[in-house]
Amino acid sequence: MRKIIHIDCDCFYAAIEMRDDPRLRNRPLAVGGDPGKRGVIATCNYEARTYGVHSAMASAYAKKLCPDLLIVPGRMQVYREVSVAIQAIFHEYTPLVQPLSLDEAFLDVTDSTACRGSATLIAQEIRRRVQETQSITVSAGVAPSKFLAKIASDWNKPDGLKVILPEEVDEFVLALPVNRLHGVGKVTAARLHKHGVDTCAELRQWRKQDLAREFGSFGERLWELARGVDERPVVVDRARQSVSVENTYDRDLPDLQACLDALPPLLDKLAQRLGRLEGQYRISKPFVKLKFHDFTQTTLEQAGAPITPQGFQTLCSQAFTRGERPVRLIGVGVRLDNAHSPLGEQLLLF
């Protein structure tokens, strides 16, 4: 039986800002962009969350929800330094560390001899050491699988620890809402709800073939998760899946032509980022993301489409027809695969 720990820093960016400036504590605080320039919230502290503020929310809307909200700009270099220090602590307990972002990671401590081989004691010790060395708190989840460990780390936030023992898995999963399952978003949750499925106990009543018929290949995954089955390993070296750049505009782009005119500087930045990866990946397909003024968004990607300015213009035009509304954000990028093959010949973007 595996022993997996998921560590998640509590409101990471905001926690560092409050650590470095005690005047910011005990008041609604967010790290993000300027509300007057279409800024977006990166993260916020728990005082701000009581007002409904959350990450990825427009800063202007966050200020409407919480007029006293203080929004400070991010300091990514500082956050990276703290993240490196925390991950160094992880590696003292196991070489099997899979960072998901600067502020969270999976650890496989199945074969670790630290703390008498107890995953619970390892998690407790990591939490204590991060607090002592970085003056911020982290929450941890301990379970036999990745998806349960991630759920557990969110169970007693902030500054919490949740342990799901092997003999507790079945009872825990039975009562779990289906929207907590890995990969179940709003759309899938709504479809399950239409079928009267809100918990894993109700999901278990479905046969595997019926779930596959209704949800395709993901149906089999649902069948496994409803039984607590998740064999995904902790992956130390993760290949990049995409490279992209995006920009939120101070004023909405009113029409398609304005969107097309905004593409060249985005494509220049994309070409620079791809240049740093030359020889490491192969491009599989380009994509364009548009977020309209009402915050609805669409992403269009197409295998075989040319990786050229004209190719991105075509994708942008097709994506725009899905909304036909002013655009507040444009993103452009490419999907990557086959980490050991060269980028290939479709590099006309350069």
Amino acid letter for position 273: R
Task: Give the H/E segment covering residue 336.
Answer: strand 327-337
132: left (phi over 0), alpha (psi -120 to 50) or beta: alpha
* Residues near 295 by beta carbon (within 8 Å), at least 6 away in sequence: 58, 328
* Alpha carbon distance 25, 14 (integer Å): 10
266 with 247: CB under 8 angstroms?
yes
Phi–psi pair at 144, nearest 5 degrees:
-80, -5
Task: Give the H/E segment covering residue 92.
Answer: none
**Choice among 104, 132, 168, 202 that is catalytic:** 104
Task: Give the H/E segment covering residue 157.
Answer: none
170 belongs to an annotated ligand binding site? no
The dihedral sign for the CA sequence 133, 138, 143, 148? negative
Half-sphere exposure of 195 (CA within 13 A, CB side): 18
Q: Are strands 29-32 and 70-72 parallel, antiparallel or unpaired?
A: parallel
8 belongs to an annotated ligand binding site? yes
Distance, first Cα to last Cα, the chain: 49
**Catalytic annotation on 104?**
yes
Phi–psi pair at 21, nearest 5 degrees:
-140, 90
Q: Are strands 297-301 and 327-337 parallel, antiparallel or unpaired?
A: unpaired
3-state secondary structure (DSSP) of residue 324: coil
3-state secondary structure (DSSP) of residue 29: strand
* Alpha carbon distance 290, 20 (integer Å): 36
Residues marked active site are found at 104
